[in-house]
A and B are shown apart, each in its own frame.
Chain A
Amino acid sequence: MNIIGHKNWYFGLSLLIIIPGIIAIFLWGLNLSIDFTGGSRLTLSFNDPVSENKVQIVNKILKVEKIKTASIEKSNKLIFIRTSPMDQNQNNKFMSALSKTLKDVKEQEFETIGPVMGQETTLNALKAVVIASILIILYITWSFRQVPKPTSSFRFGVCAIIALIHDVLVVIGVFAILGHFLNVEIDSLFVTAILTVIGFSVHDTIVVFDRIRENLRKMGGSDFPKTVNESIIQTIGRSLNTSLTVVLILIALLLFGGESIRWFVVALLIGVVSGTYSSIFNASPLLVLWQEIIDKKKIKK
């Protein structure tokens, strides 16, 4: 198997998925949920303590009225609902529909609310990811410091982070497309999914890099592309088996985990598959590409 020889094809396949995703992000934007955009909050009051049955009825009417709901909570004689932004008309329509079924319902409060994941929270998470990436590059540069010439350990770190950015772009891009066509929303769970993918991606890439490091020590750096190719093939069994176990668990979660975490699991599935792909077909071939560019420059001089 010659993965390095066909590396441009593999880069091409990645771009084939990432570019439509980026276009979708710019064209349609991300379909952000109430967690990010804010919305409305209703407080309903009843004469008697609220039963589970009543909550179900409220939930059903919300669905019939096509009002997106982030949470329904009950507290003795009250129900709190967090929904997408509602204007007075929609609110009136919903309340009249509701009072047909539940006679004793009263709207105690109807207010406009801000996002749970405010700008500051999102920026903090973003800042953390950037700092973590820099630290990972530093760690890999240090840990791989003994790789023989002509390569350098710094490049390993940078390539691992490029693979990471690849995976994040794939997941966000696919969700931009899903958001447009299937109305899938990006909520606070999605942020958790992205963070998981980031952890998985680097983890996976380093295993392949570790083998390159070992083989470079054994075979020397004279035929760098060949050494990299060999290393990928030696670790491909492990890479596939590991992601297969994770994929199996995720499928179990997808089928039996219930509706509330469905898209969270889908995001993880896409990220894990992409993470495995990028660690085999992007991260290590990128090392070779980088080396080739440097070699060409040297010849020109």
Chain B
Amino acid sequence: MKKSPRFLLWFIILITILAVLINLPSKGFLSVTKSLTFKKGLDLAGGTSLTLKADMKNIAQAQRGKALESVKTVIDQRTNYFGVSEPIVYSSVNGNDYRIIAELPGVNIDQAKNIIGTTAQLSFWEKTASSSAVLFKNQQEYLNFIATQSAQVVYPPSILQVLGTYPNKTSLGGSDLKETSVGFDQNSGKPEVQLKFTSQGAKKFADITTRNVEKIVAIVLDDQVIEAPRVNVPILTGDAVISGGFTVESANDLSRSLNAGALPVPLLYLQQHTVDATLGNDALLKSIFAGVLGIIIIAIFMTTLYGRLGIIASIALIIYALLVISIFKVSSITPYAITLTLSGIAGFILSIGMAVDANILIFERMKEEKRVGRSWHEALELGFSRAWTSIRDSNISSLITCFVLYQFGTGSVKGFALTLAIGILVSMFSAIVVTRTFLRVIYK
């Protein structure tokens, strides 16, 4: 660990200057940083409110509540799939009217619709024994035919042309997908969506392809037949490919929608509104004021307790705050944008307090080592090296918590985990590397 402190010092000065530049209000020659703005939560910045109607006509009455809850979960996941946006999603039931209301911070209506995406209901259809090919002369004849079909089953338009009368919807659907990805057809080079089924889905798919060898199986997405390939051999591996004339972009969109979860029912956009901030700048300013005050209090506290060491720790703390805020800002141009909500800001302010902990650990240790008669220099190095195991173990356990919360949490839980993890990592850097470098340079 004995790198030249000079080198580290310059490195610290450099990133601090960078952090200051990022945080300065951008004017004139600093226009590069203009594109960097905080991604604020709905309470601070406003956003879009979408009301979606769930079409429950194919769902049994008793199952509808559950279906709506799972629609809500899927939308929650979709809004979280790329980065952290801390959406507010809830359902509304009035009689036979089932709705989902999704409020997404910091995006306009088009972006919001893009995030929620198309409904992406995937189904697989096959011919039945009673099917016979039909040809319709015109649209009217087709519609007449549909009217004569059993009212219970709703066929996607154009499925009858592909599969003939009485096609059968198989039990295989979007919920059987494990993951999807975008690839390219080896011959044509065209984009395609590759499907990987769960073990259960793979079994269903194997059954379907086995009983339909030399027959057509239609792949239907949101009531549109997108592909109707002929099965050549049974597919037992649980892999399938949709190559329905995609562009790279539409293939990506479909893959993302399918990945984020399959919807049990079709959705319809009812209303869309741009929503203004509820709390606005006033609340933000209050939190910032409390944060600045907190830093000042800690600086006084640390200086009283540890003298000159405390001053250095306070400088390290200010660098910590600058770095974390810069990371928040820079994250806004990455897919993992960190959304600032009031709870997020409070969490950040709290993490300032936790960031000093490492310094307190080290300084207390140095005091102890000096008490047993070590020289200042020895105490400095021993303080850092002996405090390291406790800093490491306590922070790793906190990072484990963050990681698990990020994996399993939804919405604000995910955002919280990400914010805390960044806080922990940066605080280890500021408390250990920054403080030690300063001390080594000063007391050389």
Partner of A74, one of B43, B73, B101, B276: B276
Contacts of B346 in A (CB 8 A): 253, 257, 261, 264-265, 268
Question: Does any Cβ of B come within 8 Å of A178's Cβ?
Answer: no
A74 to B46, CA, bound (A): 9
Question: Does any Cβ of A come within 8 Å of B229's Cβ?
Answer: no
Contacts of A129 in B (CB 8 A): 404-405
Question: Does any Cβ of A come within 8 Å of B35's Cβ?
Answer: no
Q: Is the CB of B398 within 8 A of A203?
A: yes
Q: Is the CB of A121 within 8 A of B410?
A: yes
Contacts of A206 in B (CB 8 A): 390, 393-394, 397
Question: Does any Cβ of B come within 8 Å of A196's Cβ?
Answer: yes
Q: Is the CB of B276 within 8 A of A250?
A: no
Contacts of B394 in A (CB 8 A): 202-204, 206-207, 210
8 Å CB interface, B338-360 against A: 342-343, 346-347, 349-350, 352-354, 356-357, 360
Partner of B290, one of A143, A200, A235, A253: A253
Question: Does any Cβ of A come within 8 Å of B400's Cβ?
Answer: yes
Question: Does any Cβ of A come within 8 Å of B49's Cβ?
Answer: yes
Q: Is the CB of B92 within 8 A of A41?
A: yes
Q: Is the CB of B401 within 8 A of A80?
A: no
Contacts of B354 in A (CB 8 A): 200, 203, 242, 246
Chain B residue nearest to A236 in the complex (CB):
B364
Least CB distance from A160 to B in Å reads 8
Question: Does any Cβ of A come within 8 Å of B305's Cβ?
Answer: yes
Overall SS of chain B's interface: helix
Residue of A76, A119, A132, A143 with most partner-chain B CB within 10 A? A132
Chain A residue nearest to B293 in the complex (CB):
A252
Question: Does any Cβ of B come within 8 Å of A181's Cβ?
Answer: no
Question: Does any Cβ of A come within 8 Å of B133's Cβ?
Answer: no
Residue of A112, A160, A210, A234 with most partner-chain B CB within 10 A? A210
A237 to B360, CA, bound (A): 9
Question: Does any Cβ of B come within 8 Å of A111's Cβ?
Answer: yes
Contacts of A114 in B (CB 8 A): 68-69, 72, 90-93
Chain A residue nearest to B408 in the complex (CB):
A128
Question: Does any Cβ of A come within 8 Å of B411's Cβ?
Answer: yes
Q: Is the CB of B413 within 8 A of A125?
A: yes
Q: Is the CB of B283 within 8 A of A246?
A: no
Contacts of A199 in B (CB 8 A): 398, 401-402, 420
Interface residue total, chain B, C-beta cutoff 8 A: 77
Question: Does any Cβ of B come within 8 Å of A91's Cβ?
Answer: no
A137 to B362, CA, bound (A): 25
Overall SS of chain A's interface: helix
Question: Does any Cβ of B come within 8 Å of A75's Cβ?
Answer: yes
Question: Does any Cβ of B come within 8 Å of A260's Cβ?
Answer: yes
Contacts of B42 in A (CB 8 A): 73
Q: Is the CB of A210 within 8 A of B393?
A: yes
What's the interface size class on A, roughly? 35 or more
A244 to B276, CA, bound (A): 38
8 Å CB interface, A232-259 against B: 234-235, 237-238, 241-242, 244-246, 248-250, 252-253, 255-258
Question: Does any Cβ of B come within 8 Å of A5's Cβ?
Answer: no
Question: Does any Cβ of A come within 8 Å of B435's Cβ?
Answer: no
Question: Does any Cβ of B come within 8 Å of A97's Cβ?
Answer: no
Chain A residue nearest to B415 in the complex (CB):
A192
Contacts of B90 in A (CB 8 A): 38, 113-116, 118
Question: Does any Cβ of A come within 8 Å of B11's Cβ?
Answer: no
New A-B contacts (16) at CB < 8 Å, excluding given A73-B46, A135-B400, A192-B343: A71-B88, A74-B276, A114-B69, A121-B410, A124-B410, A129-B405, A189-B343, A195-B413, A199-B401, A203-B398, A207-B394, A214-B386, A234-B368, A242-B353, A264-B346, A268-B350
Q: 3 smallest A-B Cβ distances: which pairs? A: A210-B390, A246-B353, A114-B91
CB pairs A–B below 8 angstroms (22 shown): A41-B92, A71-B88, A75-B49, A80-B49, A113-B92, A113-B101, A114-B92, A118-B91, A129-B404, A129-B405, A136-B401, A139-B393, A139-B396, A196-B416, A203-B394, A214-B386, A235-B364, A241-B364, A242-B356, A256-B293, A258-B286, A261-B343
